[in-house]
Amino acid sequence: MSKKIALFWPGDYRDKPNELALPLAREATAQMTAALKRLGRDPYLVEGFMARPADAIEKLGPIDDPMIGLFVHWVYGPHTVDGVAGKDNPLLLASNFDGTFPGLVGLLNTGACLESVGRKHSRAWTEAADWTTDDAFMARLETWCETGEIHYDEGELHGAPSVGDAAQAIADELAAEIERRRILVLMLGDTSMGMVNGYFGYRRLLRHGFTEHKVDQAWLPGRAAAIDAGRVEKAFDFVKEKGVTFHWGEDGAGDFTPDSTREQLRLYFAALDLAHEFKADCIGWQYQLGLIPVTTPSDFCEGLLNSACRPESDGSPLITATEADQGNVVPMEMMKRILRKRGLHEAVMFHDVRWGGEENGRFLWVLLNSGSCGAYAFNHDPDSLEGVHSWRQPSMYFPNPGGTFAGLSKPGEMTWARAWLSGDEIVMDIGRGEVVELPEERVRHYWDGTTPQWPLMMADLGCSQETLMAHYQSNHVAVAYGDIFEEMVALSQALGFRVRVVGQAGA
Q: Where are the beta strands (DSSP E) in 62-192?
A: 67-71, 91-96, 122-126, 157-158, 183-188
Residue 187 contacts residue 212 (beta carbons within 8 Å): yes
Bridge partners for 85 per DSSP = none
- Give the per-residue pLDDT at 505: 55
- Give the per-residue pLDDT at 191: 85
The dihedral built from the CA positions of residue 268, 415, 355 and 290, taken in this order, carries a sign that is: negative
Which residues make Cβ contacts (< 8 Å) with residue 418, sequence separation at least 6? 327, 328, 331, 428, 429, 472, 473, 474, 476, 477, 478
Render the burial of 480-501: b for 16+ CB within 10 Å, e for the rest: bbbbbbbbbbbbbbbbebebbb
The dihedral built from the CA positions of residue 289, 292, 295 and 300, taken in this order, carries a sign that is: positive
Backbone angles phi, psi at 113, to 5 degrees: -65, -45
Residue 183 has, within 13 A of its CA and on its CB side, a CA count of 28
Q: What is the signed CA dihedral for 98, 101, 104, 108, rounded to 10 degrees? A: 150
Residue ranges of domains in the chain, CATH in brackets: 4-147 (3.40.50.10940), 165-502 (3.20.14.10)
Averaged pLDDT, groups of 10, the chain, 507 residues long: 95 94 96 98 97 98 98 96 97 92 94 96 95 96 97 97 98 98 96 90 96 96 97 98 98 96 98 98 94 94 98 98 96 98 98 96 95 95 98 92 98 98 96 98 96 96 97 97 98 98 75
Render the burial of 353-386: b for 16+ CB within 10 Å, e for the rest: bbbbbebeeebbbbbbbbbbbbbbbbbbbbebbe
Bridge partners for 501 per DSSP = 158, 430
Give the count of beta carbons closer than 10 Å to the beta carbon of residue 274: 18
- Give the per-residue pLDDT at 504: 76
